Structure 1
Amino acid sequence: MRNLFHFIVLLLATLVLAPAGHAQSGPGTQIVRGTVLDAAAKAPVIGATVVVVGVTPALGTNTDADGRFRLTGVPVGRIRLRISSVGYEDLILNDVTVSAGKETVLDFSLTERLTKLDEVTVTYKRGEDRTVANNEMATVSARPFSPLDANRYAGALGDPARMAQNFAGVSGANDSRNDIVVRGNSPASLLWRLDGVNIPNPNHFGTQGTTGGPVSMLNNNLLAKSDFLTGAFPAEYANALGSVFDLRLRKGNDEKTEFLGQVGFNGIEVGAEGPYSSKSKASYLINYRYSLFSLLKAVGYNIAGTPEYQDFTFKTDLPVGPHGTLSVWTLAGRSKITFLGKDVDSTKADTYGNENTNSRPHFSTGIAAASYEHRFNDRTLARLTLSASRTTQEFEQDTILYATTGRRVLAAIPNSYADFTQDKLSANLSMTHKLSARDRVSAGLIIDLLQYRYGNGLTYPVRRIERDANGTTALSQLYVQWKHRFTSELSLNAGLSASRFELNGSTVAEPRLGLQYQASAATTLSLAYGLHSTLQPLLTYFYQTQQADGRYARTNHDLGFTRSHHLVLAYDHQLADNLHLRIEGYHQWIFDAPVERTASYFSQLTEGVDFAPTNKGNLVNKGTGRNYGLELTLERSFARGYYFLLTGSLFESKYKGSDGVERNTPFNTRFAANALAGREFRLGSQGNTFTISLKTATTGGRFITPINLQASEARRSAVYEYDRAFSVQQPSYFRADVKMGYKINRARLTHEIALDLQNVAGTQNVFLQAYNPRTNAIGTAYQQGFLPVPFYRLTF
């Protein structure tokens, strides 16, 4: 680790010093430009005023016929913007970063007033863009976030999923993966959406049927403001039980060519963006990233189980006539790793490896989409998106036979294999119509054609084929949504979604309803209900179970949707211009969860955080569960050089298997608390800044199933006491992270250097316990220890 750290530091120093020698002094100013649109109709707002607050002389402009604005001579650093227009509510942004190496391009949405200007009081809370979700139909449990947050927060590593672990009601599954547990739900209940497309797991080493992995394929440098929803979400989100990541890719700069180079935890990357020509508003955005560990291996730094991965992202936006836009994007990644048993420390359990096996997993994911958006008039907008994706997972494992003494390997016998490929072709048609300042309606149809090829089984010491399937099926969704503003203070969001799974004809209908009341200038009360449903991972339907006559059958074929009632009550109070308090209470009733046909502890609600699929047959939709809790968020948005985020959650997460016994889910930590704070110091007159971010996180311990050591010794393999499933709680988890960064603005370029000190106190948090047949003992594996992660980015 010391050699690795020294190599990275040397590389960063070389990158920083090389371009600095050619830079001119004095970064001066930068351009800030963008577009202002009507929030409901997405039509341009003409003549809107955009002003930089607090600078002398005054700096401002107005939007043109396309809603575009352009501010020149904006000083580098943090600025405050006010956007206003007659007939619309004002919008204020306190935390706009202006850098020397890159133009600042922003897109704003203004909400139309219901009353005359002199009859309404405009408050900061209503105009603060940071607290307003992109999706206007979201009433509660919707957290907008900026990609800057994933860079700013200590411990986030530029990963949206790790960043979300700071939010109320959210906790991480473990330090080595970015799976997230939301309100006690399985990580597999999360829906990933990118630019309106429901996408497969966007993580390297991401197993089919899960939603996380060790390293994200999503590139934080390419994301725009996005939404994270944790309950009772709008009708357009189907096939999601617990939470939704609704991500958006930003547009490339359509006026100036810009470049990026970066080194960090996620790898070494290069990127570019710009217009195709000076005469066109068409733009592109492209980025390639390569595993830092693979590069280190190539230059002689060998690491046991070296993760090798690479990913590629591309987007282009092309104007089509005066009212249309064509967007094409692709996201692709490959990853592989090899674990050799002889390299595993036999004195303890290992997070990934096992001294008795060799494992060789390979993963790949590719997604491509083309979207055409057409604005028929200032009230009606339609969008058609066609997309395709492919995910593959290959796995080979050997059983290692050692000599009777020592660790000399006698033989490595193949014992299992997997070859999973899933393709999806999707069509997504949506339309939004603004009836008036009070009413907006939207509707959509999503059709997914799914093609699968699954094969996996055991070859030693017994031979068994667990899956052998090749075919097609389809999932379709139809939804309609309506937002009505009774007054400036009271609004209603209502919707209905219906889905059908063609494999077995399962059909569900899901009503959604939300009310929001502005009780005072600073206080908002919200109440929302939703019925939500999700399919099982497609692999589950094709697991084969041996019957009494010796033949194998797909006993999970007829599984339907797992369903859940969500009820959420929220209180939001703006304590000051930059400080707000939010309290949410929720109850989630889950039913129709897959459990075993005969009496058993098992439920699909306990699965979804692993590198292997669930291998259970004879499942029926008769399980139940319940999650309920209280969440608190106290947040100070960035202003006057600092910010903080304090969150706390008290909750319970329970389930019942087919034996009728109510148990803790493995995700029931019962409490979670996070404290995050950051400070920025301006250094010198060139806009250089030093930042420091501190984070502490604590949760209750996970509930695990105990191992019967005596029975394990007799069988020479782990024997679990399933009648006591999830009855033993691990010790509480605690971790502290510190991140320090320095931004250097030169003429026409910006350096950003940072050091993220993960688990700075070196706390030993229990990860798992496992039985080792060679040592005849139960070993304990711990979460990540102290890890310094250097970071460097250059934009020009």
Structure 2
Amino acid sequence: MSPQSLFLCLLLLVAGIFPITGHGQTPPGTVTQTVRGTVLDAAANAPVIGATVVVVGVTPALGVSTDAEGRFRLPGVPLGRLQLRITSVGYEDLVRSEVLVTAGKEVVLDLRLNERLTRLDEVQVTYRRADDIRVTNNEMATVSARPFSPLDANRYAGSLGDPARMAQNFAGVSSANDSRNDLVVRGNSPASLLWRLEGVNIPNPNHFGSLGTTGGPVSLLNNNLLAKSDFLTGAFPAEYANALGSVFDLRLRKGNDEKPEFLGQVGFNGLELGAEGPFSPKSKASYLVNYRYSLFSLLKAVGYQIAGTPNYQDFTAKVDVPVGSRGSFSAWTLGGRSNIAFLGRDVDTTKADVYGDEAHNTRVRYFTGIAAASYEQRFTDRTVGKVTLSASRTTSAFQGDSILFDGARAVRAEIPNNASDYTQDKLSANVALTHKFSARNQVSTGFIVDLLQYRYHDAQTFPTPLVRREASGNTAFAQAYGQWKHRFNDRLTLSAGLSASRFALNGSSAVEPRAGLRYQLTPGSSLSAAYGLHSSLQPLLTYFYQSPQLDGSYGLTNQGLGLTRAQHYVLAYDRQLSENLHLRVEGYYQALFDAPVERTASAYSGLTQGADFGDPNRGNLVGRGTGRNYGVELTLERAFAQGYYFLLTTSLFESKYTGSDGIERNTPFNTHYVANALAGREFRVGHGTNTLTLSLKLATTGGKYTTPLDLAASSQQHIARYRSDQAFSQQQAAYFRADVKIGYKLNRAHLTHEIALDMQNITNHQNVFAQAYNPRTNRLGTACQQGFLPIPFYRLTF
């Protein structure tokens, strides 16, 4: 059976397993939990006093009103998934669905209400934006943006608790490969993604994440510590600068400020221990700490050896301290180390089409550390300001050896041939101010200043000495922005903004307008349009590549590169088909320009960087390249209710670029289509407090484009040579993968056990990962993506 036929059969199976029927309420057990939180004005961040919070569908009724600080507390809530309704005079009602209540951890919510435009005695439309679970944290986002919760990363089969792997299921998004979480968004390079955490633009938050890339095999981000966050794929608001293709805007949750709680977990990301709680019973100051250690390193320590053992560990902590009645201080840190070695002696040379080079050793080390402190002050009930200071360091080191063999294929010598050592530091100051003039108008402004320090060394020592980078110094990048949101009436909303930025290294600057318009066609449907001019720097390494000169010296031939720019156009249609079923269709066009290309005619473009995750080792670059991405996306999503959910996404797109030779080609990310189908069902078992879950995922994409190998030239020179005149003209076979996840949640008094088995690629489909020339066999070796891989998971919260 072909993958496409299996895809259709499994879709029919999903339709049979998850019928659209009601899910009767199961009588609750004797174990209950506390649900509490804060209700705030969405724009001004001020407490909403006297708001009513009610648990829907519970007998006897459970409800409470917020106090002078906007806080509420609901004790004795039965376990399971429930729905909250929050109402307050002068505000739109809010319905918060799928609140998961377990025995091992209190539920602490941050709820935000939108002020009504119309008076109570006027006619109002029945659609309420606050009811929409797809509403983002960023109120300025009009299109191409969706929120996600940590529940999504835990729920979706194949996500492994990783926000980036979870986002691969969204419309317009595809994965670069199974072994990493890099994201290809609307045909853009993975390097075009901006990571933001707690308002701070951060370096690549992944283990084994090289400078200039945005992904890696294992995430530094801990899903257990994240709060509701945003993922934006185009035409994003003005506050996001230095972002060409997409933005991950993440938030950390606060620790429990009333009682200590603990977590232990074992899974793909390693062995994990966590704790949170108040500093004292009389204080609302709280802490949150978590440490993870590589499971593979533990196995190695007890004698289980695998080739290329990935070693890594990371630490995350956050502190929140209220300051008076209107201020708050928070500080957080995130850091991790990782290293791995690939040795030539571990390559299986018995295979005819072996992928890998038995004549080389490779050893790499990485470190990423980020720390930030912020103070937020609510000056009035309509004005709030925030100042954040942060620092980060990223290091990566590479060492390569050439292996010389004797006639019997025994190792005679290991000669160092390449070495690099990169360190990149950043000190940042972020200042933001938001003012709500009225229910109709709100304005936010701010600026971000980054001081960048770098130390780069990259050299080849064998067989021919070559220094690619030797630089140290500092520079700066600065951004200022202003945004305005105007609600003409209950149906029509405008968001507009302007961003300005400057790169001190070469004086490059950009002024970028952004605008979005949303019109509510009917109570259940809307039409949106947005435009944005966006730009981004090149990876900082690019500016310091040294090109050999005729006199034997080196020249920094890339230092004049400006920002790569893109114009985004997006049109979207949303329709609420039923209470829980939502349809979205988006069309987009991106016109990219000022991309790096070589001065002499060639097929190279910076828009293709990120396909192989290596350093951007190209010189003599100028910003004259162009590209275009366009397509249409469809999302059909059923929110989790009555025990089940599903998500169907399809994207049809084209991704093209033009190098300095003037020829338009496919980018390596142009797979033409992406389709995903996810579904999940939850069953209550025992006394109704325990749950069994089943999740399915199906994914297929078109094959990636590669450059054909010149076998004759490779054979003569004993090194891989490619037909650069035919760059990205050869398409690999289509990709297909099916994942299944089974989980069981066991609740006991003040204790919750979670056990799961995530079975990835259950059909063991052989998807092509990469191909490389092997000089010993004089053949093109092929490596496949991961085969069938069962991943166990266990978590304990108490």
Question: What's the TM-score, normalizing by structure 1?
Answer: 0.96
Asked if structure 1 preserves the Cα contact closer than 8 Å seen for 2:145 and 2:232, the reply is yes
Select which of 263, 267, 270 maps to 1:267: 270
Match of 2:510 in 1: 508
Report what 2:231 is aligned to: 228
8 A Cα contact 2:238 2:514, kept in partner: yes
Deviating more after overlay: 123-132 vs 624-633: 123-132
Question: Are 1:279 and 2:286 matched, yes or no?
Answer: no
Tell me how far apart the structure 2 counterparts of residues 350 and 286 of structure 1 sit (CA, whole Å): 44
- Equivalence map 1:711-750=2 (5 Å): 711-750=713-752
Could you tell me which residue of structure 1 aligns to residue 56 of structure 2? 53
User: Displacement of 1:404 after TM fit?
Assistant: 2.9
Q: Which sections of structure 2, spanning at least 5 residues, go unmatched?
A: 1-27
Task: Give the aligned partner of residue 7 of structure 2.
Answer: none
Structural mapping, 1:555-574, within 5 Å: 555-574=557-576
CA contact (8 A) 2:114 2:130 kept: no
Given the alignment, which residue of 340, 344, 359 partners 2:343? 340
**Residue 423 (structure 1) aligns with:** 425
The within-5 A match list for 1:489-500 is 489-500=491-502
Instruction: Summarize the alignment of residues 751-762 of structure 1 with structure 2, pairs less than 5 Å apart.
Output: 751-762=753-764
Shift of 1:94: 1.9
CA distance in 2: counterparts of 1:711 and 1:413, whole angstroms? 26
Measured after TM superposition, the shift of residue 127 of structure 1 is 3.1
1:447 aligns with 2:418: no
Decide whether the 8 Å contact of 1:442 with 1:481 is kept in 2.
yes
What's the counterpart of residue 670 of structure 1? Answer: 672
Aligned residue identity for 2:341:
T
Q: CA deviation at 1:549?
A: 2.0
Distance 2:791 2:766 in 1: 19
- In 2, the alpha carbon distance for the partners of 1:753 and 1:411 equals 49
Amino acid at match of 1:537: P
| Correspondence for 1:197 | 200
Equivalent position of 2:9 in the other structure: none
CA distance in 1 between counterparts of 2:615 and 2:131 reads 43
Q: Give the aligned partner of residue 621 of structure 1.
A: 623
Is the Cα–Cα contact under 8 Å of residues 686 and 745 in structure 1 kept in the other structure?
no
The Cα offsets for residues 607-659 of structure 1, whole Å up to 9 and x where unpaired, read as: 12444311000000000000000000000000000000000000000000000
Residue 551 (structure 2) aligns with: 549
Counterpart residue identity of residue 668, structure 2: P
2:313 matched residue in structure 1: 310
Alpha carbons 2:313, 2:337 under 8 Å: kept: yes
> d(CA) in 2 for partners of 1:83 and 1:790?
38
Distance 1:630 1:129 in 2: 23
Report how far residue 350 of structure 1 moved. 6.8
Judge conservation of contact 1:130–1:145 (CA < 8 Å) in 2: no
Which of residues 762, 765, 775 in structure 2 aligns to 1:763?
765
**Structure 1 partner of 2:774:** 772
**2:19 alignment partner in structure 1:** none
2-structure distance, mates of 1:137, 1:499: 19
- 1:385–1:429 Cα contact (<8 Å) kept: yes
Contact 2:646 2:678 in 1 (8 A): yes
Q: 2:213 touches 2:610 (CA, 8 Å); kept in 1?
A: yes
Offset of residue 130 of structure 1 = 2.0
Q: Deviations over 1:482-525 (max 9, x none)?
A: 00000011000000000000000001000000000001100010
Match of 2:787 in 1: 785
- Structure 1 residue corresponding to 2:471, chosen from 469, 472, 477: 469
CA distance in 2, matches of 1:355, 1:239: 40
Displacement after TM superposition at 1:778 (Å):
1.0
Q: 1:631 maps to what in 2?
A: 633
**SS of the residue 2:403 aligns to:** strand
Q: Is the 8 A contact 1:735 1:761 kept in 2?
A: yes
Q: Tell me which residue corresponds to 2:592.
A: 590
Q: Which residue, out of 385, 398, 401, partners 1:398?
A: 401
Deviation per CA, 1:448-473: give whole Å up to 9, x if none: 00000000010000111110001000
Aligned match of 1:530: 532
Matched, 1:159 2:173: no
SS in structure 1 at match of 2:714: helix
Residue identity opposite 2:57 in structure 1: G
Provide closer, same or farther for how the CA distance between residues 120 and 544 of structure 1 changes in structure 2, counting only shifts above 3 A.
Answer: farther
Separation (CA, whole Å) in 1 of partners of 2:642 and 2:121: 31
Residue 218 of structure 1 corresponds to which residue in structure 2?
221
Q: RMSD over aligned Cα, in angstroms?
A: 1.2
Query: What's the CA shift for 1:548?
Result: 1.9
Alignment match, 1:435:
437
Deviation at 1:354, TM superposition (A): 2.7
CA distance in 2, matches of 1:348, 1:501: 50
2: CA distance between counterparts of 1:176 and 1:432? Answer: 41
Unaligned 5+ segments in structure 1 are: 1-24
2-structure distance, mates of 1:553, 1:339: 33
Matches within 5 A, 1:103-122: 103-121=106-124
CA contact (8 A) 2:475 2:504 kept: yes
> How many Å separate the matches in 2 of 1:261 and 1:377?
42
Partner of 2:662, secondary structure, is coil
Give the 3-state SS of the residue equivalent to 1:519 in structure 2.
strand
Report deviation, 1:117. Answer: 2.9
Cα distance in 2, alignment partners of residues 329 and 109 from structure 1: 23
- Amino acid in the other structure paired with 1:568: V
1:768, distance to aligned residue in structure 2 (A) = 1.3
1:87 maps to a residue whose letter is G
* Paired position in structure 2 for 1:41: 44
Structure 2 partner of 1:602: 604
Q: Distance in 1 between matches of 2:223 and 2:121?
A: 42
CA deviation map 1:318-338 (0-9, x unaligned): 011111100000000000001
Partner of 1:20: none
1:286-305 Cα distance to aligned partner (Å, 9 max, x none): 00000000000001110100
Give 3-state SS (helix, strand or coil) of 1:130's partner: coil
Do the aligned partners of residues 350 and 90 (structure 1) sit closer, same or farther apart at CA in structure 2, a change above 3 Å counting?
farther
Whether contact under 8 Å (2:118, 2:124) holds in the other structure is: no
1:245 aligns with 2:242: no
Q: Is the 8 A contact 1:166 1:647 kept in 2?
A: yes
Structure-2 separation of matches of 1:220 and 1:374: 28
Report the alpha carbon displacement of residue 129 of structure 1 after superposing the two structures with TM: 4.6
Read off the aligned partner of 2:772 and give its amino acid letter: A
Letter of the structure 1 residue corresponding to residue 442 of structure 2: R
TM superposition shift of 1:399: 0.6
Amino acid of the structure 2 residue aligned with 1:715: Q
What residue is the counterpart of 2:648 in the other structure?
646
Percent of aligned positions that are identical: 72
Task: Return the alpha-carbon distance in structure 1 between the equivalents of residues 80 and 616 of structure 2.
Answer: 50
Distance in structure 1 (CA, Å) of the matches to 2:571 and 2:469: 44
In 2, distance between residues paired with 1:544 and 1:404? 38
